[in-house]
Structure 1
Amino acid sequence: MRVLAGLTLIAGLLHAAPIAAAPADFRPIIETGPIARPLQGVWKSRGYGWAVRFDADGPSLYHLAGEDCWRDPRAEADPDGVLKLWRPMGAALETAGEADGTVYRFDRLKALPEACSEVRPWTPRRTLAVVADTFEASYPLSRERGLDWPARRAAAVAALGEAPDEAALWRALGVLLRGMNDAHVALDGIVGGQPRTQRFGEAEALMRAKAAPGGEAAWARAWRADLLAAPLGVREAAGGRILWARKGKVGYLAVTAMGGFDPRSGDDDLALLEATLDEAVTAFSGAEAVIVDVSDNRGGYDVIARRIAARFADRRREVGSKVAVGGDGVAQPLFITPSDRPRYLGPVWLLTSQVTVSAGETFTLSMRALPNVRQAGETTRGALSDQLQKPLPNGWRFALPAEVHRDAQGRVAEGEGVAPQVALPVFPPGDPHGHLRALDRLLILIDGR
Structure 2
Amino acid sequence: MARAAGIAAVALAVTAGAVGTAGAVGTAGAVGGAGGVGGAPDGSGAATRPRVNRLEGVWQADGYGTIIEIHGSALQTYDVTRISCVPGFLTGVQVGGAGHGGTVRYGRPGKGYADLSITPRGRDRAVSKEDGATATKNLTRLPGGLPAQCGQPAPQDALAAFDRFWATFEENYPFFAAKGVDWAAKGARARAGITPRTDTDTLQAIITDLLRPLGDAHTALGRKGPDGGWDAVFIGLRPGTEEPTDQLREQAGKAVAAQLLAPERTFGQGGLGVGELPGGIGYLRVSAFEGYVEDGPYQEHADELDRALDLLLAHPERLNGLVIDLRLNGGGSDELGLRIASRLTDRSFLAYRKVARNDPADPTAFTRPQPVTVRPAAGATRYTGPVALLTAGSTVSAGETFTQAMAERRPAAVRVGENTQGVFSDIMFKPVSDELLAVLPNEKFLTRDGTTFDGPGIPPDVRTPVFTKEELAGLKDSALTEARRLLAAGAGHR
User: If the length of structure 1 is used for normalisation, what is the TM-score?
Assistant: 0.86
Report the Cα offset of residue 144 of structure 1.
2.2
- Give the letter for the 2:121 counterpart: P
Aligned partner (choices 185, 195, 203) of residue 169 of structure 1: 203
- CA drift at 1:98: 3.9
State yes or no: 1:201 paired with 2:237. Answer: yes
1:435 is displaced (CA, Å) by 6.8
Q: CA deviation at 1:332?
A: 0.8
Aligned match of 2:384: 345
Q: State the Cα distance separating 1:41 from its structure 2 match.
A: 1.4
C-alpha separation between the residues in 2 aligned to 1:279 and 1:256?
17
Shift of the alpha carbon at 1:9? 6.4
Cα distance change, pair 248–342 in 1 and its aligned pair in 2 (3 A): same
Cα distance, 1:281 vs structure 2: 1.0
2:226, 2:51 → 1: CA distance? 43
Q: Match of 2:419?
A: 379
Q: Looking at both structures, which has the greater relative contact order when contacts are Cα pairs under 8 Å and sequence separation is at least 6?
A: 1
Q: Distance in 2 between matches of 1:387 and 1:376?
A: 27
Amino acid at match of 2:293: D
In structure 2, what residue type is equivalent to 1:412? Answer: T
CA separation of 1:229 and 1:376: change in aligned 2, threshold 3 A: closer
3-state DSSP class of the match of 1:159? coil
Q: 1:364 aligns with which of 391, 399, 403?
A: 403
Counterparts in 2 of 1:190 and 1:83: CA distance versus 1, 3 Å = closer
Q: Distance in 2 between matches of 1:35 and 1:351?
A: 53
Matched, 1:437 2:474: no
RMSD: 3.3
Tell me the matched-pair count.
Answer: 431
Q: TM-score, normalised by structure 2?
A: 0.78
Write the distance in 2 (CA, Å) between the matches of 1:86 and 1:120. Answer: 31
Residue 259 and residue 183 in structure 1: after superposition, are their counterparts in 2 closer, same or farther (change >3 A)? same
- Matching residue of 2:351: 319
Q: Secondary structure at the match of 2:351?
A: strand
Deviations 1:120-148 (A, max 9, x none): 43111111111100101111122222122
Q: Structure 1 residues 205, 322: CA separation in 2 closer, same or farther (over 3 Å shift)?
A: same
Q: Name the amino acid aligned to 2:287.
A: T
Residue number in structure 1 paired with 2:119: 86
Q: Does the 8 A contact of 1:383 with 1:415 survive in 2?
A: yes
1:21 equivalent in structure 2: none
Aligned counterparts of 1:321 and 1:14: Cα–Cα separation in 2: 17
Distance in 2 between residues matched to 1:139 and 1:283, nearest whole Å: 46
Counterpart in the other structure of 1:395: 435
Tell me, what secondary structure is at the counterpart of 1:312?
Answer: coil
- SS of 2:192 mapped into structure 1: helix
The alpha-carbon distance between structure 1 residues 382 and 294, as it changes in their structure 2 partners (threshold 3 A), is same
Structure 2 residue 461 is matched with structure 1 residue 421: yes
Structure 1: gaps spanning 5 or more residues: 17-27, 210-215
- The match for 2:46 is none
Match of 2:275 in 1: 245
The answer to whether the 8 A contact 1:186-1:198 is kept is yes
State how far apart, in whole Å, the 1-side matches of 2:121 and 2:241 are: 46
Counterparts of 1:428 and 1:443 in 2: how far apart (Å)? 19
Counterpart of 1:129 in structure 2 is 163
Secondary structure, aligned partner of 2:12: coil
How far off is 1:329 after superposition?
2.7
Distance 2:374 2:402 in 1: 10
Alignment CA distance shift 1:15-1:336 (3 Å): farther
Asked if 2 retains the 8 angstrom alpha-carbon contact of 1:320 and 1:334, the reply is: yes
Deviation for aligned residue 1:337: 1.1
2:43 pairs with 1:42: no
Compute the displacement of 1:358 (Å): 0.5
Query: Counterpart of 1:230 in 2: which secondary structure?
Result: coil
Distance 1:36 1:277, change over 3 A: farther
Is residue 250–residue 288 contact of structure 1 (8 Å, CA) maintained in 2? Answer: yes
Contact 1:13 1:360 in 2 (8 A): no
C-alpha spacing 1:141/1:264, structure 2 compared with 1 (3 Å): closer
Note the C-alpha offset of 1:187.
0.1
Q: 1:316 to 1:35 in 2, by over 3 A?
A: farther
What SS does the aligned partner of 2:177 have? coil
State whether residues 155 and 176 of structure 1, in contact with CA within 8 Å, keep that contact through their aligned partners in structure 2.
Answer: no
Pick which of 151-160 and 47-56 moved more: 151-160
What residue in structure 2 maps to residue 335 of structure 1?
373
Query: Are residue 150 (structure 1) and residue 181 (structure 2) matched?
Result: no
Asked if the contact 1:14–1:359 (Cα under 8 Å) also holds between the matched residues in 2, the reply is no
| Selected match of 2:291 from 260, 263, 276 | 260
Equivalent residue for 1:235, pick from 261, 264, 280: 264
The worse-fitting range, judged by mean Cα deviation, of 433-442 and 5-14 is 5-14
Identity across matched positions, percent: 26
Q: CA 1:13–1:316 in structure 2 vs 1: closer, same or farther (change >3 Å)?
A: farther
Q: Bigger CA drift: 165-174 or 61-70?
A: 165-174
CA drift of 1:286 comes to 2.2
Question: Which residue of the partner structure matches residue 489 of structure 2?
Answer: 448
Cα distance between partner residues in 2 of 1:349 and 1:285 = 17
The alpha-carbon deviation at position 381 of structure 1 amounts to 0.7
Q: 1:281 to 1:191 in 2, by over 3 A?
A: closer
| Cα distance in 1 between the residues matched to 2:431 and 2:248 | 32
Greater CA drift, 241-250 or 341-350: 241-250
SS in 2 for 1:112: coil
| 433-442 or 216-225, larger mean C-alpha shift | 433-442
The corresponding residue for 1:404 is 444
Deviation at 1:104, TM superposition (A): 0.6
Q: Is the 8 A contact 1:12 1:384 kept in 2?
A: no
Residue 49 of structure 1, CA deviation: 0.6
Please tell me whether the aligned partners of residues 86 and 431 of structure 2 are also in contact (alpha carbons under 8 angstroms): no
